[in-house]
Homo-oligomer: A and B are copies of this chain.
Amino acid sequence: MRISELVERSGVPLPTVKFYLREGLLMPGTVTGRTRAEYGEEHLHRLGVIRALIELVGLSVQQVRRVLALTATPVGSPLELYGVLGAAVGTLPPEVPAGEASVAHPRARDALERLGQIYDPDYAAVAQLERAIAAAEASGVLLTDARLDAYGRAARDVARFDLDQLPPDPAEAVEYAVLGTALYEPLLIALRRLAHQDLAARRLGVSPSD
């Protein structure tokens, strides 16, 4: 299809499509002449993913570029994937500055030790954990061991489910893992908030179950 059809079917304005092409989020079509290029269904799908990550998940253009780059990463074993994902740059706001990686993360190390999990300072998520703990401390709210255990257990339950659902096909697995990481995080957050409200309502006597 031509770019006008891509614009019409995706609902994304022409200048914006051109912008994504310039920024490398959308791969170029196959050139069929000096002033003509052909786009396919994969471009349409890609545009959908881009818009979802930007408008619905709230990622920046730069973060989307990284996420999409990861979906093109070839991995040997499907299970290696989360290692690759972990060594790559974090995708969720707030962005962890480049220099902050690979430095010591004492609070995160303590926490992971307590959970019995591996500690690798090169994992971007370790820096995120460190920041999360620092934010709590700076606000006068501290992170107790009991809370760490409770959250760690819940996170592990979710992660176990995610790994169990990993598609056997490597290419599919990459897309699942990368997009799943970005797409399911807001889901978990929203469900936690709704659970707060539901449990609070029940404890107030609206319904005696649970």
Residues of A that sit less than 8 Å from B by CB? 45, 48-49, 51-53, 55-58, 77, 79-83, 85-86, 92-95, 112, 115-118, 120, 123-126, 128-129, 131-136, 138-141, 143, 146-147, 150-163, 165, 176, 179-181, 183-201, 203-204, 206-207, 209
Contact = CB atoms under 8 A, between A and B. Distances in A.
Given A77-B204, A189-B92, A158 B112 contact: no
Contact of A94 (B57, B94, B118, B181): B57
A151 B187 contact: yes
16 contacts: A57-B135, A117-B195, A117-B198, A118-B197, A123-B193, A128-B193, A132-B187, A136-B183, A141-B179, A141-B183, A151-B161, A157-B157, A160-B195, A160-B199, A163-B196, A181-B196
How many copies altogether?
2
B184 A136 contact: yes
